[in-house]
A and B are shown apart, each in its own frame.
Chain A
């Protein structure tokens, strides 16, 4: 089995109103060095197979078809074998 950890990031060209609003909060708190706050998502799940290559295939398909919208987001993932 494998544990997949997927990081979903908004593509750099896409405006992130949520990140901008959070950054305003940061400024109110006095964090003057904080810049370019971007909010993403973290998704983790188990892939129930013993074969790494098929786990990778399944993870990318799951990401491409459902977890991300390619117009909006990019992703990266790690795959760790678990016992």
Chain B
């Protein structure tokens, strides 16, 4: 059976409809919006925390969204092994909720960066990435001002040791270096999973690269892999 997706809508989310459209219209899945004040996850199999500026990004990005009523349900869901993907602001919310380790600082350039980047798949053994090809970088856009991943050295070591780094920023030919790093992230980190492997946070927007008519389709490989892996 195909998974049912739930896209959480916080005040200030602005990629919720992009995620809904990509999952529903492009991938043909059952998708529902989940209002931040609700607590019922409506039997969804995969929860998406979308991009945007939840609660205006006041205080810190994701800091207030993390205490929305729906987040208690999302945290309980994750503790039972439920699958969650946080994209951009969703990633920031997962870090604030301490479902993933580390923090996202302001981009090193201090500028909001909106452009296509290339990502290497560092670990294709996770629920989210099994089936993706390691040798072929994915072209997926980013759009953020605070995506500069930072963690203390013990956390970084543990991420490496447990194979939790899933995506890194690279050049189009797969080279991960300072030049291909759009925001100053440590080790060019673009996406990580938790130790349990059921929670993914990533800054790039796969939902914005799902329609070949718009010139990009690599995002549908990521979302499509999740569907396939759920069904297996």
Separation of A72 and B184 alpha carbons in the complex (Å): 16
> Does A71 contact B102, Cβ atoms closer than 8 Å?
yes
Looking at B59, B67, B96, B151, which has the most chain A CB atoms within 10 Å of its CB? Answer: B59
Assess whether A49 is interfacial by the CB under 8 Å rule: no
Among candidates A13, A66, A67, residue contacting B152 with C-beta atoms closer than 8 Å: A13
Separation of A27 and B105 alpha carbons in the complex (Å): 24
> Does A69 contact B63, Cβ atoms closer than 8 Å?
yes
User: Inter-chain contact count A-B, CB under 8 Å?
Assistant: 33
- Mark out the residues of chain B between 1 and 42 whose CB falls within 8 Å of any chain A CB in the assembled complex: none
Q: Known contacts being A67-B59, A69-B60, A69-B63, is A15 close to B152, with CB within 8 Å?
A: no
Chain B residue nearest to A21 in the complex (CB): B110
Separation of A17 and B102 alpha carbons in the complex (Å): 17
> Could you say which residues of chain B place their CB within 8 Å of the CB of A17?
105-108, 110, 148, 184
Over the window 88-107 of chain B, the binary record of Cβ atoms lying under 8 Å from chain A Cβ atoms (1 yes, 0 no) is 00000001100000110111
Looking at A13, A18, A66, A71, which has the most chain B CB atoms within 10 Å of its CB? Answer: A71
- Mark out the residues of chain A between 5 and 23 whose CB falls within 8 Å of any chain B CB in the assembled complex: 13-15, 17-18, 21
Assess whether B127 is interfacial by the CB under 8 Å rule: no
Separation of A17 and B106 alpha carbons in the complex (Å): 7
Interface of A is mostly: loop
Separation of A74 and B102 alpha carbons in the complex (Å): 16
> Does A18 contact B102, Cβ atoms closer than 8 Å?
no
Q: Known contacts being A66-B59, A66-B67, A69-B60, is A15 close to B103, with CB within 8 Å?
A: no
> Does A69 contact B110, Cβ atoms closer than 8 Å?
no
> Does B150 contact A14, Cβ atoms closer than 8 Å?
yes
Separation of A56 and B103 alpha carbons in the complex (Å): 28
> Does B103 contact A71, Cβ atoms closer than 8 Å?
yes
Separation of A33 and B119 alpha carbons in the complex (Å): 42
Q: Known contacts being A17-B110, A18-B110, A21-B110, is A69 close to B67, with CB within 8 Å?
A: no
> Does B150 contact A66, Cβ atoms closer than 8 Å?
no
Separation of A18 and B105 alpha carbons in the complex (Å): 10
Over the window 65-82 of chain A, the binary record of Cβ atoms lying under 8 Å from chain B Cβ atoms (1 yes, 0 no) is 011010110000000000
Interface residue ranges, B against A (CB under 8 Å): 59-60, 63-64, 67, 95-96, 102-103, 105-108, 110, 148, 150-152, 184
Contacts A17-B106, A69-B60, A72-B60 known; list 7 others, CB within 8 Å. A14-B103, A14-B105, A14-B150, A17-B110, A17-B184, A66-B59, A69-B96
20 A/B residue pairs, CB under 8 Å, sorted by A: A13-B152, A14-B103, A14-B150, A15-B150, A17-B105, A17-B107, A17-B110, A17-B148, A17-B184, A18-B106, A18-B110, A66-B63, A66-B67, A69-B63, A71-B95, A71-B102, A71-B103, A71-B152, A72-B103, A72-B105
Interface residue ranges, A against B (CB under 8 Å): 13-15, 17-18, 21, 66-67, 69, 71-72
